[in-house]
């Protein structure tokens, strides 16, 4: 008889209910020391709820948690941390105005006998941890002066400072450049060899085989399967996640774009924009590719007036325009949808209805008062059109899954009546099934006369839906490529890197 597997964590028949929703239905999950166990599922599948139960943010309704061979009731986040659970969330939990050392030991400071903080020891211990994670910064450095990748390493350093036995990574590579992703994966491999148990949540299928040992798939709050990450393939995982076959190689390019409606010539700005030129046609999806920091976002923000233009010209329907703010751009029919949907795209404390109608207040305000019936009808129309999963139009935006939050952002754009839509990383942090729905939606919008610019760091999706692809490097548009069948990712990378 084979020896029983040793698990550091076993979650058996975990059930969690919210009003009107069965979020988790008898979920089983286990984790071995020195393993990366990938947790997969569409947005809203139950991954976050399961992790919040593990981290003490939620209390389970049913089931059993066995931690280090002992049945355990995790009472709250502090208790979870004491047990050795560390979670590195997608949104960093750091104080930007505190130093690295202060952030690492915040709430767990070293103190002298007198009770005052022992700063010398705090900085010494911080330096040791920074060395472990490979963060080459002085411990006195303020967090606001760190890059996104360095903040990621600092979050890991914080977890290690608390003698973490289980480390949870929630979409850790969503905002990282490829070289930073490589460094992170090297660190994860190092932690694995030291016996660290790791739960890894990601929507990026290419990452799974590289660092994963096992994969557990959830769907609609139910356990689907656990498979060997090295032996499974991409198609099998996609079918388990989505419950259907999705052919990622099928291109969905809009047909027959019309006349040019937006012209950008030699556009310049102080922030990473140097004489960028391109045009956009009605009924077209124009993809924008390039390395992180190439200036794609800055070009779009300059066009709509978020960033001051220092040179060049923008023409809308043949007429010169010079927007000083996004409000001016919106009045002329151009809207920019930020890559930061939670920080800039949505008002999370407001409900779905208010978010959808936020750009269309003139329509729903009658005689200085809000027409609530009209507001409800408009929001319900877009909830139906875009298949937004929510309990009602009054559901809080913060409680929606990533994919459904993105659909609310798109609804807000469509409600504005803008005809030029600029999407910045529209599928970041969204599962494969929701991505496919977003692609269909963008193509459908283009077919109905909208002109769309799509910035994306994922070359497969740029190739999937774009009529043409503008490639940027160091603030310039180096080339614009027709999206023919023989266009490859390698060719786009060639222009993006300039080699």
Q: What pLDDT was estimated at residue 93?
A: 82
Q: Return the biggest CA–CA distance within the chain.
A: 80
- Between CA 385 and CA 408 the distance in angstroms is 11
Asked if the model's pLDDT at residue 14 lies above 90, the reply is: yes
Convert the pLDDT of each residue in 417-440 to its tens digit. Answer: 889 999 998 887 676 777 788 888
Cα within 13 Å of Cα(184), Cβ side: 26
Q: Are strands 214-219 and 222-228 parallel, antiparallel or unpaired?
A: antiparallel
- The values of phi and psi at residue 187, to 5°, are -65, -40
Mean pLDDT of 279-293: 90
Between 424 and 171, whose confidence is greater? 424
Asked if the model's pLDDT at residue 41 lies above 90, the reply is: no
Q: What pLDDT was estimated at residue 198?
A: 94
Share of the chain above pLDDT 70, in %: 95
Q: What pLDDT was estimated at residue 249?
A: 59
Mean pLDDT of the chain: 87
Q: What pLDDT was estimated at residue 2?
A: 46
| Nearby residues of 65 by Cβ (< 8 Å), 6 or more positions away | 9, 10, 11, 12, 14, 53, 54, 71, 72, 73, 74
Tell me the β-bridge partners of 281: 260
Asked if the model's pLDDT at residue 43 lies above 80, the reply is: no
Domains and CATH numbers, the chain: 9-242 (3.40.50.300), 260-497 (3.40.50.300)
Convert the pLDDT of each residue in 191-203 to its tens digit. Answer: 899 899 999 998 7
Q: How buried is residue 437: exposed, middle or buried, by Cβ count under 10 Å (0-12/13-18/19+)?
A: middle
Res. 250 pLDDT band, cuts 50 70 90:
low
Q: What pLDDT was estimated at residue 317?
A: 94
Mean pLDDT of 435-452: 88
Q: What pLDDT was estimated at residue 1?
A: 43
| Nearby residues of 91 by Cβ (< 8 Å), 6 or more positions away | 342
Convert the pLDDT of each residue in 311-334 to its tens digit. Answer: 999 999 999 999 999 999 999 999
Asked if the model's pLDDT at residue 397 lies above 90, the reply is: no
In contact, 402 and 430? CB cutoff 8 Å: yes
Q: What pLDDT was estimated at residue 251?
A: 67
Q: What pLDDT was estimated at residue 247?
A: 56
Convert the pLDDT of each residue in 97-150 to its tens digit. Answer: 999 999 999 878 889 888 899 999 999 999 998 988 888 899 999 999 988 778
């Amino acid at each position: 008889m084979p020896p029983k597997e040793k698990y550091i964590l076993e979650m058996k028949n975990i059930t969690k209910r919210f009003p009107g929703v069965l979020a988790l239905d008898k979920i089983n999950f286990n984790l071995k020391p020195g393993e990366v166990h990938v947790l997969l599922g569409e947005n809203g599948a139950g991954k976050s709820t399961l992790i919040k139960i593990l981290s003490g943010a939620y209390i389970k309704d049913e089931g059993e948690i066995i931690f280090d061979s002992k049945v355990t009731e995790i009472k709250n986040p502090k208790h979870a941390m004491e047990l050795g659970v560390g979670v590195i969330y997608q949104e960093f939990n750091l104080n930007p105005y505190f130093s690295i050392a202060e952030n690492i030991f915040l709430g767990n400071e070293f103190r002298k006998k007198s009770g005052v903080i022992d700063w010398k020891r705090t900085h010494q211990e911080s330096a040791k941890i920074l060395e472990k994670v490979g963060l080459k910064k002085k411990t006195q450095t303020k967090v606001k002066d760190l890059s996104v990748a360095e903040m990621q390493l600092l979050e890991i350093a914080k977890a290690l400072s608390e003698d973490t036995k289980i480390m949870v990574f929630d979409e850790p590579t969503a905002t990282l450049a490829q070289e930073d992703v490589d460094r992170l994966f090297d660190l994860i491999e190092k932690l694995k060899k030291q016996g660290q148990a790791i739960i890894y949540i990601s929507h990026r299928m290419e990452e799974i085989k590289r660092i994963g040992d096992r994969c557990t798939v959830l769907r609609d709050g139910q356990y689907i399967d656990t498979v060997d990450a090295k032996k499974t393939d991409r198609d099998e995982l996609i079918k388990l996640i989505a419950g259907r076959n999705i052919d990622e190689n099928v291109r969905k390019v809009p047909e027959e774009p019309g006349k040019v409606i937006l012209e950008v010539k030699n556009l310049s700005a102080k922030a990473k924009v140097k004489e960028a030129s391109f045009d956009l046609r009605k009924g077209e999806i124009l993809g924008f590719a390039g390395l992180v920091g190439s200036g794609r976002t800055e070009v779009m923000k300059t066009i709509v007036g978020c960033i001051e233009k220092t040179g060049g010209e923008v023409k809308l329907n043949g007429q010169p325009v010079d927007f000083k703010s996004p409000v001016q751009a919106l009045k002329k029919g151009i809207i920019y949808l930020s890559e930061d949907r939670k920080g800039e795209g949505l008002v999370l404390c407001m409900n779905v209805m208010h978010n959808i109608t936020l750009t269309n207040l003139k329509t729903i305000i009658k005689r200085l008062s809000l027409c609530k019936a009209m507001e409800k009808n408009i929001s319900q129309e877009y909830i139906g059109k875009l298949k937004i999963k929510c309990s009602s139009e009054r559901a809080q935006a913060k409680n929606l899954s990533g994919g459904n939050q993105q659909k609310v952002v798109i609804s807000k754009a469509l409600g504005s009546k803008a005809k030029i839509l600029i999407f910045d990383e529209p599928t970041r942090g969204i599962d494969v099934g929701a991505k496919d729905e977003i692609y269909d939606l963008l193509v459908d919008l283009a077919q109905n006369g909208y002109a769309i610019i799509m910035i994306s760091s994922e070359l497969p999706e740029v190739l999937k839906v774009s009529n043409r692809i503008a490639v940027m490097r160091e603030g310039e548009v180096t080339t614009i490529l027709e999206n023919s069948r023989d266009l490859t990712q390698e060719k786009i990378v060639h222009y993006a890197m300039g080699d």
